[in-house]
Amino acid sequence: MKTFIAGIAAGLIAATGAGADGHDSYPDRPVMLMVSYGAGGATDFQARIVTMTAGNEDALGMPIAIVNRPGAGGRVGWNWLATQAEADGYTLGAYNVPHFIAQSIEGGVSYSADDFEPIANWGADPAVFVVAADSEFDSMEDVIAFAEANPGGLTFSGAGLFVGHHIAALQLEKAAGVELAYIPNNSGGAGAMRAVIAGEVMGGVNNLSDAFRAQEAGTVKILGVFDTERSDFLPDVPTMQEQGYEIDDASVNYRGVMVPAGTPQPIIDRLAEIVPAMFENARVQSRMEAGGSPMEIMTRDEVQQMWSDRQETLEALLADL
Amino acid sequence: MDFLFYMGDVFAPVSFALLLFGTVFGLILGATPGLSPTMTVALMIPFTFRLEPQQGLILLGAAYTSTVAGGAVSAILLKIPGAPANIATTLDGHAMAKNGEGARALQLSFLASAVGGVFGVMLLIFLTPVLAGWALAFGPSELFWLAILGVTVIGTLDSSSVVKGLLSGCIGLWLATIGFDDIMGAQRFIFHDAVAGGINVIPALIGLFAIPQVIAMFARGRTDPGAEVIAVRRHPIGSALRELLGRKAPLAIGTAIGSVIGLIPGVGGQIAGLVAYDQSKKFSRESSKFGTGHPEGIIAAESANNAMVGPSLVPLLTLSIPGSPTAAVLLGGLLIHGIFPGPQLFTNYPQVVWPFINSMLVGQVLMCMFGLLIAGLAAKVAKVPHGVMAAVVLGLAVFGSYSVQHSMGDVYVMATLGIGMYFLERFGFSAAPLVLGLILGPIAEANFIQGSMIANATVGVWNYFFTGWMNWVLIAIVAGSVGYSAWMEVRSRRYTSKEEMLA
């Protein structure tokens, strides 16, 4: 309903020509946040939670309406944001790193990291390696031993190509020096998880938050975390580095808010100040924790640094493909 | 019998008020073209932020139940299926409405929905652990064959000839390839930004069904100004109930097919109605009446699409895997309150899960009551001139297409496909097979690619797709279905070739 009201309000203001010339009154109407994944996905779900307090006086003072533009692993939404969205500060977008950076390196899309200006980061969801609960694999060592005995014969699922899971898969292949059969799933992380539980594939790379839930449900075992340190949700699961594979945090799925390049600088500065504070809200934090969604709040400067680091790592990693 | 123990919670004043609100809101949004059950439930989620978990889920359960049934209203009265689940309802439902039997069609559709829906929720209540295994049994090879089975249905669905049905199915399959492909991310047939994300099924649905009749109405309106489109005769509820009970075969086929197909993750709701319609037609003694306003068509389609509601939640509640987009949104609704679905859900949170399931059960009954009320009101809408009707339908079509993802691109897609369909219809092609092609194409393709990737890494393509009893059963049904279509075509050629040539 919010989106409709936002749409109507936006239309009315455009019709009466009451657009603000100065940026002092920003925002004077509801703001739209484009999510390039469908309703119900992890990004959409988290975006709805972290923006729910936007209407508070100490935040933007105006609600943020979520608009979904799903398709092609996020490419459709980000293409739209880079080329067609108005850079007036009323159109924000949710980003997923490394997805959009990897896609822009792969090519075939009309955006790169330079087309967007980061505002703030709200979450970091590392990839993990999962196997079905009844699998014979109990550690990454078992998995790699099988892969060495059967080159290209170890099937494991992930959410798609050029997303965090795929990056993690490439890193694993490189670090362990084995050939694996990565099976991208057409229904995202949920579909990839289903394939693991149903035994269609021998293992899978998936989001820590979803894998944590599946482990609670008793359907999977988590063998390793693709991050530099252990997660608070899974203190018993070792990282890949601890198990002897040189894998850094390049595949960690960072989620946050950005705007199209060309948005007026005063507005970017104002958003960069308010939005991270909005994520700190206690209600937001408790809802995110209840949903098993790991938060990591980063300011604009930190995100800029993270983006350029990723750009470098991913260019090197994807150059071998 | 746990569900009976928690039945009282549903009738607590606040919960029941939410249940009523969810049902009415769901019916209204469901009847609005373009607002699919997924969208409706997503729109409800913010309301649940401030509610207790139990109450929030009662609201969501009621809304999910009634939007699926609400889609029948626009499908019957306006020939705009609100969601893919309601495609089959348009075929006979709108034909009945045109014959002045709109009230009867609506009553039958809501009664059939309630019967199918209650059965589906009962399955969820009593057989969840058994069904969970079934939901996992469909891997890429089985889903591929299932989609191929759907493709073979295309030929016999709502067409004057099998060949024309297959041809329009092929157009649908081709349209489905437009956009980035799901697995490899390759770009195909993208000549305009509007289709970069592929053809979205809902705008396509609206365009293909609504626009040809808008054009036809405008064309007719000039020569025949005062004409009535929907003259609705009153129809007593009692006789609708008797009629439903008298037509047990389509009701049983629809409910059974809806329950079974609803379980299969990723396929369920979209094709349950169409498959049930097609099977009822094949088994019916009056199969020639299907498509001309035959009540059995509505009964089969609507009982199937509501029977799917309960089973479609099995993978979510037991395995924590959302099997459909709507289930994914409901997962969000659970997670917000810190409730993780899984096998322990029923032991850890019985006070939330059982009222949620009960709300769907009670929601089916309430939905039926409100639906019958709407059917009565529809009878008061008597004379609607063509021009006004066309304008209303066109307005709803544009609104519905735009609202899916706030994109003018979808409106262009809707208009283009609709105008194309107008000409195709003049040559005897039909929209239903085309939409089925559009829905099944990506399922067949993605599962074939995934299956062959797994196969190449393990047992080889032949062994993967052609062994295992599930594959054999599906292949046998595919062969049977193709054979039936071929036989029908040969037979109809022999007897009706003259009329075919004249037509």
Give the whole-number percent of chain A exceeding pLDDT 90. Answer: 53
By CB neighbour count within 10 A (0-12 exposed, 13-18 middle, 19+ buried), where does B20 fall?
middle
Q: Determine the pLDDT at residue A20.
A: 43
Q: How far is B481 from chain A (nearest CA, A)?
A: 28
What residues in A contact B190, CB-CB < 8 Å? none
Q: Number of residue pairs across A and B with CB atoms under 8 Å?
A: 171
Which residues in B lie closer than 8 A to residue A48 (C-beta atoms)?
45-46, 332
Of A40, A187, A197, the CB nearest to B332: A40
Judge whether B351 is closer than 8 Å to chain A, CB to CB: no
Say which DSSP state B195 is in: G
Position B68 pLDDT exceeds 50: yes
The mean pLDDT of chain B is 83
Q: How many Å apart are CA B432 and CA A104, to the nearest integer?
A: 38
Higher pLDDT, A244 or B130: A244
Q: What is the distance between the alpha carbons of residues B112 and B468, in angstroms, rounded to a whole number?
A: 36
Average pLDDT score over residue span B131-160: 80
pLDDT at A27 over 90: no
Angle at B368 between CA B364 and CA B371, to 5 degrees: 135
- Phi, psi dihedral angles at A269 (to 5 degrees): -60, -45
- pLDDT at res. B225: 53
| Cα dihedral sign, A278-A279-A282-A284 | positive
Q: How far apart are CA A281 and CA A290, in angstroms?
A: 14
Cβ neighbours of residue A301 closer than 8 Å, sequence gap 6 or more: none
Among B335, B405, B454, beta carbon nearest to A155: B454
Instruction: State the nearest Cα–Cα gap between B450 and chain A, in angstroms.
Output: 6
DSSP string over A50-97:
HTTTTTSTTTTSS-EEEEE---GGGHHHHHHHHHTS--SSSEEEEEEE
Q: Does B340 touch chain A (CB under 8 A)?
A: yes
pLDDT tens, residue by residue, A64-120: 888 888 877 888 889 889 988 889 999 999 999 999 999 999 888 889 999 999 999
Between A104 and B483, the more confident residue is A104
Q: What is the pLDDT of residues A266-305, one digit of tens each?
A: 999 999 999 999 999 998 898 888 877 889 999 999 999 9
Q: Is the pLDDT of residue B281 over 50?
A: yes
Q: Chain B residues with CB inside 8 Å of A38's CB?
A: 325, 328
The DSSP element (H or E) to which A295 belongs, if any, is strand A295-298
Q: Average of pLDDT values for B31-46?
A: 80
Using a CB-CB distance cutoff of 8 angstroms, which residues of chain B are in contact with residue A7?
Answer: 406
Q: What is the model's pLDDT at position A12? A: 47
Cβ density class B176-205: b for 16+ within 10 Å, e for less:
bebbbbbbebeeeebeebbbbbbbbbbbbb
Which two structure tokens, joined as six digits, stand for A162?
């050029």
Q: Report yes or no: A292 and B339 within 8 Å, Cβ to Cβ.
A: no
* pLDDT-derived band at A241, boundaries 50, 70, 90: very high
- Which of A93, A96, A113 lies closest to A104, judged by CA? A113
> Residue B222: which pLDDT band, with cuts at 50, 70 and 90?
low
pLDDT(B200) > 90: no
Picking from A158, A159, A129, A160, the residue whose alpha carbon sits closest to that of residue A146 is A129
Which secondary-structure segment (H or E) carries B381? none
Q: Please choose, from the candidates B42, B438, B441, B195, the residue with its C-alpha nearest in 3D space to the C-alpha of residue A41.
A: B42
Return the bridge partners of B121, or none: none
pLDDT higher than 90, residue B352 = no
> Does the pLDDT of residue B427 top 90, yes or no?
no
Q: For residue range B288-332, what is the model confidence (pLDDT) as tens digits?
A: 888 888 999 999 999 998 998 888 888 888 877 777 778 888 888
Q: Looking at the DSSP assignment, which residues form a beta bridge with residue A117?
A: A259
Residue A41 has phi, psi (to 5 degrees) of -70, 165
DSSP, residue by residue, B409-462: HHHHHHHHHHHHHHHHHHTT--HHHHHHHHHHHHHHHHHHHHHHHHHHHTT-HH
Sequence-separated (6 or more) residues with CB below 8 Å from residue A271? A89, A92, A119, A120, A257, A259
DSSP symbol at B202: H
Query: What is the reported pLDDT for A13?
Result: 46
Q: How crowded is the C-beta side of B300, counted as CA atoms within 13 Å?
A: 31
pLDDT at residue B213 in the model: 86
Q: Which residue of A has its CA nearest to B327?
A: A40
Query: In this predicted structure, what is the pLDDT of residue A296?
Result: 92
For range A218-233, the mean pLDDT: 91
Three-state SS string across A166-183, please?
Answer: HHHHHHHHHHHCCCCEEE
**Surface of B (234-263) touching A: CB under 8 A:** none
DSSP A281: -
The span from the CA of A77 to the CA of A94, in Å, is 9
**CA neighbours closer than 13 Å in the CB half-sphere of residue B317:** 28
Please give the pLDDT value at position B230: 56
Which of B42, B450, B454 is facing A40, going by the closest CB pair? Answer: B42
Of B265, B327, B328, nearest to A41 by CB-CB distance is B328
Reduced to 3 states, what is the DSSP secondary structure of residue A32?
A: strand
Cα–chain center distance at A214: 19
Q: Rounded to a whole number, what is the largest CA-CA distance in chain B? A: 68
In angstroms, the CA A158 to CA A127 distance is 10
Note whether B259 and B289 are within 8 A (CB): no
pLDDT at B177 over 70: yes
Average pLDDT over residues A246-274: 93
Q: Choose among B481, B89, B470: nearest CA to B276.
A: B89
Concatenating the DSSP letter of every residue in B126-155 gives HHHHHHHHHHHS--HHHHHHHHHHHHHHHT
Which H or E run contains B180?
Answer: strand B179-180
Q: Which amino acid appears at position A189 of this protein?
A: G
CB spacing of A217 vs B340 below 8 angstroms: yes
* CA gap A193, B316 in Å, rounded: 12
Best residue in A156, A194, A196, A208 for a mutation probing chain B (most B CBs within 10 Å): A194
Q: H helices within A198-293, ranges in order? A: 208-216, 265-280, 282-290
pLDDT in tens, B447-458: 999 999 999 888
Among A45, A186, A195, select the one facing B182 at the smallest CB separation: A186
Nearest to B196 among A76, A181, A190 (CB): A76
**Higher pLDDT pick, B294 / B47:** B294
What domains, with CATH codes, occur in chain A? Answer: 2-125+252-319 (3.40.190.150), 127-225 (3.40.190.10)
**Strands A91-97 and A31-35: what pairing?**
parallel
Using 50, 70 and 90 to split pLDDT, how confident is the model at A180?
Answer: very high
Closest CA to A37 of A195, A189, A198: A189
For residue B137, the model assigns a pLDDT of 82
Give residue A7's pLDDT.
53
Asked if residue B420 has pLDDT above 80, the reply is yes
Chain A nearest C-alpha distance from B137 (Å): 7
> Which residue in the block uniquely carries the two structure tokens 């207790």?
B52
Chain A residues with CB under 8 Å of B36 CB are none
The answer to whether A186 contacts B407, with C-beta atoms less than 8 Å apart, is: no
Short-list A33, A44, A35, A2, CA closest to A293:
A44
**Token couple for A236:** 């018993």
Residue B41 has pLDDT above 80, yes or no: yes
Q: What pTM was estimated for this model as a whole?
A: 0.84
Query: Burial level of A13, CB count in 10 A (0-12/13-18/19+)?
Result: middle
Is the per-residue pLDDT at B108 higher than 80? Answer: yes
Q: Has residue B251 got a pLDDT over 80?
A: yes
- Average pLDDT of span B482-487: 79
User: CA-nearest residue of chain A to B334?
Assistant: A291
| C-beta separation of B68 from B309 below 8 A | yes
Q: Residue A113 to residues A77, A109, A261, B444: CA-CA distances in angstroms?
A: 14, 12, 10, 35
A213–B340 C-beta distance less than 8 A: yes
The C-alpha angle with vertex B426 and arms to B421 and B429, in degrees rounded to 5, equals 60
Q: What is the overall mean pLDDT for chain A?
A: 87
Q: Nearest Cβ partner of B336 from A41, A49, A83?
A: A49
pLDDT score of B320: 78
Strand, coil or helix: B324: coil
Rounded CA Rg of chain A: 20
Contacts of B196 in chain A (CB under 8 A): 71-72, 75-76, 79
